[in-house]
């Protein structure tokens, strides 16, 4: 365990972690064991039956209530630390509050939990704390956890850190240089959610995490949502978002009357929201996300739908709008899926290379130096490799490697393969960039192995032992094996993504 952060009071954001020194890309800022582990697995006991019944009655997800068990059984020391966490406030007349309130008042009265003496008000706070502060660990689905210092790191849609679960520890690594005193940030949302426009990201964060994001990306011009200028036809009409930069703002200042601004210097015209066909944009957003990027299983998509959608997005919204780029990604994924399964793709290799180029250029503007950009650059590089364009493949692989090194801790089969390709086909400058290891700190023998005793019992007696963490500092390093597993998981995830994108 170590921390190179200070926790300070900042306006609006409450308590936030700031850098205690300067950091280079790849350096670790925090490595922390969990304060409270929260397994999501349901156990076949009367207590879980009762929680399921309460959840059903009040229309709350069962998983929201399970953590109450582990909180009630935690030691007083852990409970008092949890009480220091940020608690979002819900509107007491709102539906969500009423559901949570109804559920926790019954949970607090369950005989198995009542003995712990936790009142319903405290349980409600705990559930809300989880909504804003919980981290996924382990394989990302089975266990979540609260981290005391980790929870002080605030969200940004344009973060300077990535959060990794190594074993059950939470690790923050810098993905860009950070200066002393700068707030440490990571993104609560990931994957395609980060491609979204500012209003769409804000809606998601408000719904899932109960706050209106006022990060740097949310309060400047929206670089994911370029539209076509109604005056000059330029593809770079931009919306300037409202709100002042703060790390967890709640109340953005109202937008100006004419937030749309043409970037073409010869035009420079401003527009109102009413001029911009927002209803069409909204309908397309629904269609693209629902048909191509939803987790729901869709059984049949008309074979011509993807092409039609791409064309409509391009014509109505523009070539640099995030929905157009999502459709391009979807087409590329379908192309690769067809190739991998030995079928003839609907699009040509030339189409695919043009799309790869557009995606990379868009990422360079929308999300430079991020994991999203690295994933797309790698994907584009693989496309160029398949179609025998080594200059492009080397260029894109070189762009992907530095961020992937931060994520994989310099290791990873994909990094080795791309590096070998660049060494064979790339320029001397590209070889220098791609082979430079990032400054991930090697923890060596100092990595503590954390073992946790956390099995719930049903005898109704609260036990101070539950959820307590014991450290075994004598044990050896855990990093390489875990990194390997992570790389494998990443690969499986990617394949899943490809399959999803190429469902049609
Ligand atoms: Zn934001
Ligand atoms: Zn214009």
Give dist(CA 301, CA 51) in Å, integer.
Answer: 39
CA of residue 197 to ligand 1 center, whole Å: 10
User: Which range in 3-7, 85-89, 350-354, 489-493 is most confidently predicted, on average pLDDT?
Assistant: 350-354
Residue with more model confidence, 313 or 489: 313
Give dist(CA 272, CA 239) in Å, integer.
Answer: 10
CA of residue 317 to ligand 2 center, whole Å: 14
Closest to 440 measured CA to CA, from 472, 399, 483: 483
DSSP per position, 321-343: BHHHHHHHHHHHHHHHHHHHTTP
Q: Which residues sit opposite 154 in a β-bridge?
A: 185
Contact 212, 251 (CB under 8 A): yes
How does residue 485 score in pLDDT terms, banded at 50, 70 and 90? very low
For residue 221, give both structure tokens. Answer: 């011009």
| Per-residue confidence (pLDDT) for residue 299, from 0 to 100 | 57
pLDDT in tens, 284-322: 999 999 888 877 655 566 777 888 999 999 999 999 999
Q: What is the mean pLDDT of residues 189-214?
A: 90
CA of residue 270 to ligand 2 center, whole Å: 8
Instruction: Report ipTM (2 d.p.).
Output: 0.97
CA of residue 373 to ligand 1 center, whole Å: 17
Give dist(CA 372, CA 207) in Å, integer.
Answer: 23
Give dist(CA 377, CA 380) in Å, integer.
Answer: 5
| Per-residue confidence (pLDDT) for residue 486, from 0 to 100 | 46
CA of residue 459 to ligand 1 center, whole Å: 45
- Flag whether pLDDT at 104 surpasses 50: yes
Buried b (16+ CB within 10 A) or exposed e, 426-460: beeebbeebeeebbbbebeeebbbbebebebeeee
Which ligand has the shortest distance to the CA of 156? 1
Closest to 238 measured CA to CA, from 268, 215, 266, 212: 268
Please state, in angstroms and as integers, the Cα–Cα distance from residue 267 to each residue in 220, 260, 263, following that order.
21, 13, 8
How much is the mean pLDDT over the chain?
Answer: 83
Q: What's the longest Cα–Cα distance across the chain?
A: 76
Local structure of 22: helix, strand or coil = coil
The answer to whether the Cα torsion of 236, 242, 244, 250 is positive or negative is negative
Which ligand has the shortest distance to the CA of 261? 2
Domain residue limits, the chain: 212-275, 277-435+490-501
Which ligand has the shortest distance to the CA of 220? 1
- Flag whether pLDDT at 482 surpasses 70: no
CA of residue 240 to ligand 1 center, whole Å: 13
- Flag whether pLDDT at 475 surpasses 50: no
- Flag whether pLDDT at 465 surpasses 90: no
Q: Write down the CATH number for the domain with range 277-435+490-501.
A: 1.25.40.10
| Per-residue confidence (pLDDT) for residue 55, from 0 to 100 | 95
| Per-residue confidence (pLDDT) for residue 432, from 0 to 100 | 96
pLDDT in tens, 316-370: 999 999 999 999 999 999 898 888 899 888 889 999 999 999 999 999 999 998 9
Residue with more model confidence, 213 or 481: 213
- Flag whether pLDDT at 467 surpasses 50: no
Local structure of 502: helix, strand or coil = coil
Q: Ligand 1 is a single-atom ion; what residues have CB below 5 A from it?
A: 157, 213, 215, 218
pLDDT in tens, 113-135: 998 999 999 999 999 999 888 88
Which ligand has the shortest distance to the CA of 158? 1
Residues 6+ positions from 482 with CB-CB distance below 8 Å? 166, 167
Q: What is the mean pLDDT of residues 234-252?
A: 71
CA of residue 487 to ligand 2 center, whole Å: 45
CA of residue 266 to ligand 2 center, whole Å: 8
Q: What is the mean pLDDT of residues 371-395?
A: 95
Which ligand has the shortest distance to the CA of 271? 2
Give dist(CA 22, CA 37) in Å, integer.
Answer: 31
Which ligand has the shortest distance to the CA of 194? 1
Residue with more model confidence, 327 or 249: 327
Q: What is the mean pLDDT of residues 6-10?
A: 71
CA of residue 157 to ligand 1 center, whole Å: 4
Question: For the chain, what percent of residues have pLDDT higher than 90?
Answer: 57
Closest to 170 measured CA to CA, from 33, 39, 38: 33
- Flag whether pLDDT at 473 surpasses 60: no
């Amino acid at each position: 365990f170590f921390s190179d952060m200070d926790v300070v009071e900042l306006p609006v954001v409450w308590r936030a972690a700031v850098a205690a020194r300067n950091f280079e890309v790849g350096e670790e800022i925090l490595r922390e064991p969990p304060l409270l582990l929260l397994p999501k697995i349901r156990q076949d006991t009367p207590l879980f039956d009762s929680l399921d019944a309460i959840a059903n009655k009040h229309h709350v997800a069962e998983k929201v209530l399970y953590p109450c068990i582990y909180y009630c059984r935690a030691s007083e020391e852990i409970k008092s630390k949890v009480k220091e966490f940020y608690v979002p406030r819900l509107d007491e007349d709102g539906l969500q509050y009423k559901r949570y309130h109804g559920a926790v008042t019954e949970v607090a009265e369950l005989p198995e939990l009542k003995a712990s003496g936790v009142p319903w008000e405290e349980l409600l706070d705990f559930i809300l704390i989880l909504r804003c502060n919980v981290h996924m660990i382990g394989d990302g689905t089975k266990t979540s956890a609260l981290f005391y210092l980790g929870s002080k790191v605030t969200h940004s849609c344009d973060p300077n850190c990535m959060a990794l679960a190594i074993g059950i520890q939470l690790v923050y690594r810098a993905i860009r240089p950070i200066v002393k005193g700068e707030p440490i940030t990571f993104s609560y949302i990931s994957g395609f959610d980060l491609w979204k426009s500012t209003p769409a990201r804000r809606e998601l964060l408000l719904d899932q995490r109960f706050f209106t994001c006022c990060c740097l990306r949310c309060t400047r011009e929206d670089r994911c949502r370029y539209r076509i200028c109604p005056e000059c036809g330029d593809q770079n009409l931009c919306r300037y978002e409202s709100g002042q930069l703060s790390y967890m703002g709640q109340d953005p200042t109202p937008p100006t009357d004419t937030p749309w601004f043409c970037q073409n210097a010869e035009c420079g015209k401003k527009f109102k929201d009413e001029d911009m066909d927002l209803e069409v944009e909204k309908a397309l957003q629904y269609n693209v996300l629902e048909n191509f990027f939803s987790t729901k299983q869709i059984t049949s998509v008309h074979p011509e739908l993807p092409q039609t959608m791409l064309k409509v997005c391009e014509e109505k919204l523009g070539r640099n709008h995030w929905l157009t780029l999502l459709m391009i990604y979807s087409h590329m994924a379908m192309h690769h899926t067809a190739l991998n399964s030995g079928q003839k793709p609907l699009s040509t290799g030339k189409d695919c290379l043009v799309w790869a180029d557009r995606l990379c250029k868009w990422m360079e503007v929308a999300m430079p130096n991020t994991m999203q950009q690295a994933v797309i650059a790698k994907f584009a590089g693989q496309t160029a490799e398949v179609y025998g364009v080594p200059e492009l493949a080397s260029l894109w692989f070189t762009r992907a490697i530095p961020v992937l090194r931060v994520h994989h801790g310099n290791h990873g089969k994909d990094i080795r393969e791309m590096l070998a390709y660049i060494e064979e086909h790339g320029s001397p400058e590209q070889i220098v960039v791609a082979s430079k290891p990032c400054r991930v700190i090697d923890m060596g023998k100092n990595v503590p192995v954390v073992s946790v005793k956390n099995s719930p019992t049903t005898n109704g007696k609260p036990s101070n032992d539950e959820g307590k963490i014991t450290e075994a500092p004598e044990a050896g390093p855990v990093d390489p094996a875990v990194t390997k597993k992570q790389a494998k998981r990443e690969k499986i995830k990617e394949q899943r993504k490809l399959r999803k994108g190429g469902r049609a």
